[in-house]
Structure 1
C-alpha cells in the first residue's frame, strides 16, 4: 500500500505556502555543522540541498581551512569558519561556544556530521553544538561522522526524540551492535528496535528500501523529559518504508542530499510548530503532534532524495556525480508533492504528487 494518506497529507501541511504571505526566514533557517579541512563537499551538498528543497537561509559552520572552498561553491550559503583547532591563535573555546549559542538561536534545525571528520577537536565542537541544540529543543539530523560520534557515547542522544539519525548500511550495522540488538533479529524490525533502544529517536535506515522508524514503547520518564514530550501523549511504534525507485549509481554525497532534505522539512516542522504559517496551520488542534514531525520529515526527505537519484541517473547513467543531482531537487520536489507545492496557488490543477502516481512504491505501518 502507499504511504498512509494521513502521513502524506501531514507532510504536505508542513510545506510553507508560496503566496507572498511570508517574509525571509519564515520558510526555514537551516544550519550544517561539519566541514573539516579535507571534507568540503559534504557540508556544501547538505546545505545547498536544504536550500533547493525550499529553505530561505542555509548556514555552514566549519573549520577555517574549509571555508574558502565552501564559499566558492555557492555564494548563496552563509559560511561561518569558527571551528578552529586548539593550536590556532584564533581558537578560543569560550568564543566558539558564544558564537554557536548566538547562531543556533536563529536557526530552526541543525544538521551535524557532513564532512565532520574524526579529529578530536571537531568532535568536541560537534558535541558542544549538540548540547546547545538540545538545550534549545532544536530539531536535529545526525549523519556521517556524527553517527560514529554518538556511537561512542549513546547518552549524547538517547531519549532526544527531536533528532533523526540517517545511517547507511555500515553505520546502521555498527549502531545496532552498539545497542546490542540480536543479529538474528528480523531485518524488517531492526530499525524500530534501534529507535526503541535509543529512547524513541527517529531512525532512517538507508538501503534498497528506506525504513523510517520511531518506537517509543517502553520509554521511561527520563527519556520523555529529554524529548519534551507532552504529558499524556501515548507511546507508539510507527514504521514507514519507502521504495520509490532511485538511481543505480551509488556515488559519494547522495547521503548529504538526504540529510539536507530531511533538515529542510524539520525546519519547516519547527516553523509549523511556531505557527509561522498562520493560525490555520497551527498545532493547537494536535492534528500533527510535535513528536510526529521527525518521522514526517524523514519520510519526506527519503521520497525526495530517491526521486532526485532516479532523475539524475536517467540523465547521466554511470557518469552521474552528486553535483548532477543538485539541479534535480526542485523537479523531484514537484514530482513528489505536486506542481502547486513547488510553484504556489496560481498554478493549480497540475497534479497532486507522487503518492497517487506511484501507488505501492511507498508503504507505511502503524
Structure 2
C-alpha cells in the first residue's frame, strides 16, 4: 500500500532547500532528552540520526553520568549534562527553559530510564515544551511516563508518540481501549483517547493515526468530508525494512521524526516555503516521513551488513534520497567525491 501522493508532496514541501539561502539553525535545531547511567546508546542514536537526516544542530540533554560517553561517540553532538540527581527540577528549570527556547523540537525518552529524578525532569521538559508551543516526540520510557499520567500529553496535538508492540499494548490498557477492536484500528482509538495526539504504532507495517480537529475547506475537499467536520487520518507505511529488529532502531526513528517536525517548525515560522502546509499537518507528515526513512535505512543496512543498528546510520542519507528524490531542491546523499 503506497503512501498517498498528496502526503509525500506535503512532506517534500516542508523539507528545507539546500541552495545556500538558509543560515545555520534554519534547517532545524533538535533536542533529545534522555541518557542516564546505564543508557547512553539510545540518545546517541536519536541525536546523530537527526543530523544524518538533515538537522543543523542536535543537542543531548542528559545526566552527568551519561555525558562523557555520549560526547565520546561524536563531536557533532552538543551535550548538556544538566539533569543532576542531586538537584531538583525547580533548580534546573531556568536552564532548561532557556535551552528549549532555542530549539524547534524536543525528543523525550531515548535512554531516559525510570529513575524518579529522570522522570521528573522529563515531565518538566514536556511541560516547558508545551508552554513554548514546541513539537514533541515521545518514545521508550517517556511512553511509560505518559501511561502513569495521561494528562502529560493528552490534547497536545503537536506531539507524536512512537510505541513498539509492548509499549502500545501497555498504553492501550492505560487508556482502557477495548482489546476486541481489530488490531489495525487500535491506533486511531488511542489517538482519539489522547485528544488527537498523533500515534505511530511500530510493527511489521507502521500505522500512523491522528485527529487534526475541524477540517478547513481544503482539508474537507481532500478527505471528502464536510467543512468543519473532525478529520481523522490513518496512514500505513509498509515500505520494506530490514529482516531483523534490534535495539536502537526505534531511537533512529524518533530522531528522524523529530527532525522533520523541526523542519515543520521552521516552515511554519517562514524560514522557507510558501506556508501551504498547515501546522496541524506537521506531526502526521513527520511520522510518515520518519517511518519511511527509518525502514528504508534498515533495509539498506541489512542488505550490506546484516544485524547491527549502528550500521543504519551511514544509510540514512541514501535512504532519504531514495524516498524523496536525489537532486530535488538540492537534496541527496553525497557521492564518493563528496558532491551532491
Q: What TM-score do the two structures reach when normalised by structure 2?
A: 0.92
1:256 and 2:251 are equivalent in the alignment: yes
2:317 paired residue among 330, 345, 353: 330
Gaps of 5+ in 2: 215-226, 335-340
Cα drift, residue 215 of structure 1: 2.6
Q: Distance in 1 between matches of 2:329 and 2:291?
A: 17
Aligned equivalents of 1:133, 1:92: Cα separation in 2: 18
Please give the per-residue CA displacement for 1:290-330, whole angstroms capped at 9, x wherever unaligned: 1111000000000000000000100122xx21111101101
Could you tell me whether the CA contact under 8 Å between 1:308 and 1:332 is conserved in 2? Answer: yes
User: Do residues 118 (structure 1) and 114 (structure 2) align?
Assistant: yes
Alignment of 1:1-366 (within 5 A): 1-86=1-86, 91-215=87-211, 234-277=229-272, 281-283=273-275, 287-317=276-306, 320-341=307-328, 343-344=330-331
CA RMSD of aligned residues (A): 1.6
In structure 1, distance between residues paired with 2:230 and 2:141: 30
Q: Is the 8 A contact 1:45 1:253 kept in 2?
A: yes
Quick one: distance in 1 between partners of 2:88 and 2:204? 44
Q: CA deviation at 1:47?
A: 0.2
SS at match of 2:192: helix
Cα distance between partner residues in 1 of 2:331 and 2:302: 28
Q: Which runs of 4+ in 1 moved over 6 A?
A: none
Is the CA contact 1:240–1:299 (under 8 Å) kept in the aligned structure 2?
yes
Is this contact kept in 1: 2:106–2:258, CA < 8 A? yes
Instruction: For residue 66 of structure 1, give the secondary structure of its aligned residue in structure 2.
Output: helix
Q: Which consecutive residues of structure 1, in runs of 5 or more, have no partner in the other structure?
A: 219-231, 348-366
Matched-pair contact (CA < 8 Å) for 2:17–2:329 = no
Distance 1:253 1:342 in 2: 30
User: Partners of 2:328 and 2:101 in 1: how far apart?
Assistant: 28
Please give the per-residue CA displacement for 1:15-48, whole angstroms capped at 9, x wherever unaligned: 1000000010000000000001100000000000
Matched position secondary structure for 1:236: strand
Q: Is the 8 A contact 1:42 1:256 kept in 2?
A: yes
Identify if the C-alpha distance between structure 1 residues 139 and 311 changes in structure 2 by more than 3 Å, giving closer, same or farther. Answer: same
